[in-house]
Every structure is written in C-alpha cells, then in structure tokens.
Amino acid sequence: MLILGWEGMPRRYFDYLPQYETLNRVAGIGAFVMVLGILITVINLVRSIKTGWRCEELDPWGGGRTLEWTVPSPPPLENFDEIPEITRGAYEAAPTEAR
C-alpha cells in the first residue's frame, strides 16, 4: 500500500485505476497471508492452553545457567526471598561441567 501511495494511487476510490491493479492485488494477497498467520498463531495459542503440558521441573532445558532457571514456575511475587549470590557470568560454564 505504501508503494501504491508513492505511485500516486488516490485514496477512497470504490474502483481502482487500471495502472494500480497489479500492486493492489499484491497488497490484497499480502493481507490474506497476514490474516492467515495471525489465525494460525491464535489457533496454536488456544490449542496450547487447552492441551499443552505443564513443566514440573525448574529447568526443562537441562542446563540453564542464569537466575531465571533457579525459581519455580510461575515465579513468586518477588522472585527471590533473599538476594542470590552470583558466582559466574551468565554465559560461563559451571566448574563441574565438561565442555
């Protein structure tokens, strides 16, 4: 639609001029593709809420090294009862891990 505006297509016409027909069709197809993507996302969200599994582990990925993997899910209001001690960077391997 932006390109159509740059090309000079007038707004609020009930019938498009012939020189803008191709780009208008492309814009219409793009709108259908966008609606289809949103519909797939909403269907996946509803399906996941109804039949999705709930993770009981603290770290379902098995090796998360950052603080968000040390709290339960859903996290409590303040996340931590006391300030945690950070002994290494987020992307550093733990000393006991083999590379």
Long-range CB contacts for residues 20-27, cutoff 8 Å, separation at least 24: 27/1
Query: Is 53 part of any domain?
Result: no
Summarize pLDDT for 21-46 with one digit per residue, the tens: 899 899 999 999 999 999 999 999 99
Residue 2 lies in domain: 1-13+20-46
82 in a structural domain: no
Q: What pLDDT is stored for residue 99 in this prediction?
A: 46
The helix/strand/coil state of 42 is helix
Residue 84 within a domain: no
What total of structural domains would you count in the chain? 1
> How far apart (Å, rounded) are the C-alpha atoms in residues 80 and 35?
41
Q: Could you tell me the pTM of the whole model?
A: 0.54
Q: How far apart are CA 57 and CA 65, in angstroms?
A: 15
